[in-house]
Amino acid sequence: MTTLYVKNMVCDRCRLVVEQVLTRLDLHADKITLGEVTLREDNLSETVLQNLDSELESVGFARIDDRKARLIEAIKAAVIDRIRHTNGADRKLNWSDLLAEALHYEYSYLSNLFSSVEGITLEQYIIRQKIERAKELLFYDELNLSEIALQLGYSSVAHLSSQFKKVTGFTPSALKKSHPGQRKPIDQVI
C-alpha cells in the first residue's frame, strides 16, 4: 500500500478526475478521500511517479511530498468539506475544536502553520470559503438570504451581509444583480 497526497483535490469531482488518472496509469486505489489516495501498489518506481505527476498536473493537481504542505491541504479539505456539507445544524460550530480533532494537532499549531504558509489567517480562509459558498447558493436562486445565513451557520443575515461586503466589496443582493456568475473555484480561494 502507498499513500499519496494530492494538492487541489477538494471536491467529489476532483476525486473522480484523480481516479480516472489512476485508471489510465493502471494504478489501483483502495481509498480516495479529499487530498489523499491510498493505492494497492507498493514502492512505486520513479518512472511511475513521474508519469503520475505529469498526468495530475495536466488536470490541475499535484502530488505533495512535504509534511507541512500535506497538512495545509488537509486543513483546506476539512474546511471546504464542512462548509459544503453543513446544513445549519451546527450553528455553534467551533472550528478550532473541529480541526484539532480531525487533524490530530493543536489548533494553535494548525493556525500558525496555515498563516505562515498561506499568508492569511485560518479564520480569514474559513470566512472566504463561506462567502464563496454563499455566492454559489445566491446564484442558484433556490434559497433566500435568511436560509443561506442559517445554512452557513451565521447568527443573522446582518452578520453574513457584513462579512460578504468585507470580502467582495458588495452586499449579497448588489453582487447578484451586477455581477452574475462572479465566483472563484473553491481551490483558488485565498
Q: Which residue has the higher pLDDT, 93 or 152?
A: 152
Using pLDDT thresholds of 50, 70 and 90, give the confidence band for residue 187.
low
pLDDT at 89 exceeding the cut of 70:
no
Strands annotated E in 19-152: 29-33, 36-39, 62-64
Over residues 59-81, the mean pLDDT reads 87
pLDDT score of 91:
57
Over residues 40-48, the mean pLDDT reads 91
Using pLDDT thresholds of 50, 70 and 90, give the confidence band for residue 33.
confident
In order of their start, the domains of the chain are 2-65 (3.30.70.100), 69-188 (1.10.10.60)
Using pLDDT thresholds of 50, 70 and 90, give the confidence band for residue 87.
low
Report the alpha-carbon distance of residue 167 to residue 178 in Å, rounded.
16
Determine contact, residues 130/83, Cβ cutoff 8 Å. Answer: yes
Those residues with Cβ within 8 angstroms of residue 159's Cβ, 6 or more apart along the chain or in another chain: 149
pLDDT at 109 exceeding the cut of 90:
yes
Three-state secondary-structure class, residue 39? strand
pLDDT score of 25:
95
Report the alpha-carbon distance of residue 149 to residue 156 in Å, rounded.
6
